[in-house]
Structure 1
Amino acid sequence: MAQADGNPTGFRTGLRGLTTRGRSFIAAGCTAAVCSFLFGQGALLQVGVLLAGLPLLAAALVLRTRYRVAGGRRLTPHRAPAGSEARVHLRVDNISRVPTGLLMLEDKVPYVLGPRPRFVLDRVEPRGFREVSYRVRSDLRGRYPLGPLQLRLCDPFGMCELTRSFSTSDTLTVVPQVHPLPPIKLTGEWAGYGDSHSRAVALAGDDDTVPREYRYGDDLRRVHWKSTAKYGELMVRREEQPLRARATVLLDTRETGHRGSGPASSFEWAVSCAASVGQHLLERGYQTRLLTDTGLQVPESRNSGGSSPSESAGLLLDALAVAEHSSGGGLGRAEEALRLGGEGLLVAIVGELDEEQAAGLARLRRNTGAAVVFLLDTASWSGLRPLGGPAETDERTQAQLRMLREAGWTVLPTRAGDSVPDLWRRADARAQAAATAPGRKGADK
């Protein structure tokens, strides 16, 4: 909570704070005084002095006001989905021993959130407070500063007005829209940590336990008697931490790969899809990271086991709130990041691809478990491809679909207006159909 001093000093400050009404009174008073000398009317001089003196008296009154106020701001919520409203709560405390006069509050907000909110507070008793609130809304993702809060001191006649600003400000994060997704059976590769780094560690069952030889200091309660009898020496169970599923959400941010502008563009649909899939996987217990074609990873360290799903979801949404187009022309950096560590489920949301880029995307499947790709038909976002488009374009798209499916991807062709939950549900059905199809190519290994 910041404080502002209500005791401004300097008569020049008071003169600069005169309102249009106050300046008009002074001008009228000076005019009346001049006319009194020209026409020899003494009563007119008295009127002029009264008119000119009233604003000066009001300025002196405001300058002599002695009180201190503190202001604070609270956002509900701090992260608001695009297109939804957030409420900003303001509180002003009078921390002096004298009551305040007329106060006017104005909070500084970006124009995309709406007009500047203004409030008038009559009188705040000593040690008292007042609370007001207003709503903001934005259809565009981003981080928007709120504040600083400005306090205007005014006399009862509106002749003089002085402005004081608080020092603190807050930030409202407008995140992409997140659609709830249905649970489906698409699991990536499970990996654990502990004494054994083998991927053959069983998930359950006494017979599948991986033992090791007894070491001095081991807890005797970990002795595995079947293995001890089999090998003729004391064997103990390995310490394995609970296994966690890993997942990577790949977002294609290439400017050349997307069409359209504003909230209705293919890029905004892709960002919303990445947010929906990422949060869904975190809620399902996946250790999830966001990866872009530029090689950016969120979180930067893949060992995020200490973070709760809500904290990880917050990091992911904050990164997507400020996601922008990249000038890259391929997926090489993402391929490098996945080569260094791409175990588990891979979900890619990509825009328009050429043959080389499609081949690079197919290679990304090699080091992952299950893989799903939302292949955006970006021409449908710009209206360039209505139903029944050019044959050569359809042939190229079909060739890319065939290449990705043969590489083991579950491909979801996506057009403008498609629903993310419906596509995600179809990914489950298509994966199951591919798993049961005879002679299936590109099976997961």
Structure 2
Amino acid sequence: MTTAGEPDGTRDEEDRAGGVRTALTGLTTRGRSFLAAGAAAAVCAYVLGQGDLLRVGLLLGVLPLVCATVLYRTRHRVAGSRRLEPGRVPAGSEARVHLRVENISRLPTGLLMLQDRVPYVLGPRPRFVLDRVEPAGRREVSYRVRSDLRGRYPLGPLQLRLADPFGMCELTRSFSTRDTLTVIPRVEPLPPVRFGGGATGYGEGRRRSPALAGEDDVIPRGYRYGDDLRRVHWRSTARHGELMVRREEQPQRARCSVLLDTRGIAHEGAGPDSAFEWAVSGAASVLMHLLERGLSVRLLTDTGSVVPGEGAEGFAGAGQESADAAGTLMDTLAVIDHSDGTDLSAAHEVLRGGSEGLLVAFFGELDEEQAELAGRMRRHGGTAVAFVLDDASWRHESLSILDDASWQHEPAGPGAGPDRAEERLTTLREAGWTAVKVPRGVPLEELWRSADRQRAGLAPAGGEGAR
């Protein structure tokens, strides 16, 4: 929750210097009419020599000025706050914004108009009219925001329009504090498949314990002050000529890298139903699924950037770090956008120098060169699963997702087509990938199961992902 506080001292001094001008600019039509009528009555009283008319003119002219002065001097006595529930919401879901206005002065306020600034993507600008607020009183209102587009959206500043009881003057106050609503990608629940064939580094968090290994398999280390002498490994001590001890039992967590192809040339279209948004949502779903299964994960893009980027080789998610890692990953995917890159070489360099483990990739359009480069990303002995977006079905929105044969024979544009797409899939499969074609409208859950069946050898080579 953030509180909209008082303006800083410099701004306060500027406000005092221009207080008269500020107060006069806040006069309403009624206030300006009273002021004009008072001036006219004073002039007529002077010309006609009527003292009573002069007193009436002074009353008419002074009333709006007094109202403006009182309103101006008391306008800094109102505090406002904003609270988001929740601050991070999936695309297409609603968040509620709670606003609270508190009168911290000794005088009641007049009519208040409360307005909060929100981006047009989140909906219309909310406005509320609040009646008289008693001294030390408060009013609470709320509104809902929703966006189908992921991103980080600023909320605020909060604005208050204050009016005096006579309606002579209205002043608008803007608070300086802002909040940010993070709209993250949609996350689909995935079944707990194991990709039959015993994927290296994938499973229920495989553990290796040197303490339980054979005598010849023990990897000792140098003695450190405070080590238990009962763990001294005498054979290694004699071999190295210094005191060596057995390593502590160290569980080794299974690892997974999720590669997201963000190249602008590999994806066409925009909006919540575009191919790129599907790939971002798919990467988020896989990352969250694997974190829940107890794996250490990292997000890798075609630019070579690694998220979270901490720990060994950028992996995170062990124990208490899981929640922090999930938040970091989702915040990154909320704002990720197309890159200007044209190839996958940077991602290949990161994977080439890393350790084995499960690799899940979401590719856009691949030419022959990039398909061969992607094929070399799979490390020997590791399991690699690729979801390749089928441009033919994503480019034609009118295509029926229930008719498999239709999108397989629909041309995707100059130089592209089903034969070319199948060639890219064949290239990946020959390199050891489990490659799945992603037509428009097929749920990720079904593609996830299809990849498992293909890995186990239960699915035909060309039928992955189709309903």
| Range with bigger deviation, 324-333 or 144-153 | 144-153
Determine the structure 2 residue equivalent to 1:441: none
Compared CA separation, residues 237 and 105, structure 1 to 2 (3 A):
same
Alignment of 1:281-292 (within 5 A): 281-292=290-301
Q: 2:440 aligns with which of 403, 406, 416?
A: 416
Q: 1:133 aligns with which of 133, 136, 142?
A: 142
Determine the structure 2 residue equivalent to 1:63: 72
Q: 2:410 aligns with which of 385, 389, 399?
A: 389
Determine the structure 1 residue equivalent to 2:465: none
Deviations 1:45-69 (A, max 9, x none): 8776665444323213313437623
1:407 is the counterpart of 2:431: yes
Q: CA deviation at 1:72?
A: 2.1
Compared CA separation, residues 212 and 334, structure 1 to 2 (3 A):
closer
Secondary structure of residue in 2 paired with 1:171 = strand
| Rounded Cα–Cα distance in structure 2 between residues aligned with 1:390 and 1:378 | 9
| Rounded Cα–Cα distance in structure 2 between residues aligned with 1:45 and 1:214 | 101
Alignment of 1:102-181 (within 5 A): 102-181=111-190
1:189–1:345 Cα contact (<8 Å) kept: yes
Secondary structure of residue in 2 paired with 1:244 = coil
1:342–1:367 Cα contact (<8 Å) kept: no
The percentage of counterpart residues that share the same residue type is 62
Secondary structure of residue in 1 paired with 2:142 = strand
| Range with bigger deviation, 382-391 or 40-49 | 40-49
1:211 is the counterpart of 2:218: yes
Q: CA deviation at 1:149?
A: 1.6
Q: CA RMSD in A?
A: 3.7
1:4–1:164 Cα contact (<8 Å) kept: no
Secondary structure of residue in 1 paired with 2:432 = coil
Q: CA deviation at 1:316?
A: 0.8
2:392–2:418 Cα contact (<8 Å) kept: no
Determine the structure 2 residue equivalent to 1:362: 375
1:93–1:129 Cα contact (<8 Å) kept: yes
| Range with bigger deviation, 209-218 or 257-266 | 209-218
Determine the structure 2 residue equivalent to 1:317: 330
Q: CA deviation at 1:173?
A: 0.8
Determine the structure 1 residue equivalent to 2:200: 189
1:188–1:343 Cα contact (<8 Å) kept: no
| Rounded Cα–Cα distance in structure 2 between residues aligned with 1:170 and 1:59 | 31
Aligned AA (1:210): D
1:188–1:246 Cα contact (<8 Å) kept: no
| Rounded Cα–Cα distance in structure 2 between residues aligned with 1:94 and 1:296 | 49
Compared CA separation, residues 31 and 421, structure 1 to 2 (3 A):
farther
Alignment of 1:347-358 (within 5 A): 347-358=360-371
Q: 2:451 aligns with which of 415, 427, 440?
A: 427
1:67–1:94 Cα contact (<8 Å) kept: no
Determine the structure 1 residue equivalent to 2:348: 335
Deviations 1:179-233 (A, max 9, x none): 1111110475349xxxxxxx995699665893367976653665899x9xxxxxx
| Rounded Cα–Cα distance in structure 1 between residues aligned with 2:92 and 2:450 | 27
Deviations 1:156-193 (A, max 9, x none): 232211122222211111111111111110475349xx
Q: 1:344 aligns with which of 357, 363, 381?
A: 357
Compared CA separation, residues 337 and 401, structure 1 to 2 (3 A):
same
The alignment's TM-score, normalised by the length of structure 2, stands at 0.79
Aligned AA (1:365): R
Secondary structure of residue in 2 paired with 1:336 = helix
1:73 is the counterpart of 2:82: yes
2:210–2:217 Cα contact (<8 Å) kept: no
Compared CA separation, residues 132 and 266, structure 1 to 2 (3 A):
same
| Rounded Cα–Cα distance in structure 2 between residues aligned with 1:274 and 1:189 | 20
| Rounded Cα–Cα distance in structure 2 between residues aligned with 1:118 and 1:224 | 74
Secondary structure of residue in 2 paired with 1:119 = strand
Q: CA deviation at 1:257?
A: 0.7
1:214–1:236 Cα contact (<8 Å) kept: yes
1:373 is the counterpart of 2:373: no
Secondary structure of residue in 2 paired with 1:87 = strand
Compared CA separation, residues 380 and 45, structure 1 to 2 (3 A):
farther
Secondary structure of residue in 2 paired with 1:4 = coil
Aligned AA (1:211): V
| Rounded Cα–Cα distance in structure 2 between residues aligned with 1:214 and 1:178 | 43
The alignment's TM-score, normalised by the length of structure 1, stands at 0.83
Aligned AA (1:18): L
| Rounded Cα–Cα distance in structure 1 between residues aligned with 2:104 and 2:275 | 52
Q: CA deviation at 1:71?
A: 2.3
Secondary structure of residue in 1 paired with 2:303 = coil
1:33–1:49 Cα contact (<8 Å) kept: yes
Aligned AA (1:358): A
Aligned AA (1:389): E
Q: CA deviation at 1:119?
A: 2.3
Deviations 1:338-388 (A, max 9, x none): 112152111100111110011011111125721111100123222188532
Gaps of 5+ in 2: 237-242, 400-405, 461-467
Alignment of 1:190-339 (within 5 A): 190=201, 210-211=217-218, 218-219=227-228, 222=231, 237-301=246-310, 302-304=314-316, 305=318, 308-339=321-352
| Rounded Cα–Cα distance in structure 2 between residues aligned with 1:274 and 1:200 | 26
Gaps of 5+ in 1: 192-198, 228-233, 438-445
| Rounded Cα–Cα distance in structure 2 between residues aligned with 1:267 and 1:356 | 21
Determine the structure 2 residue equivalent to 1:3: 5
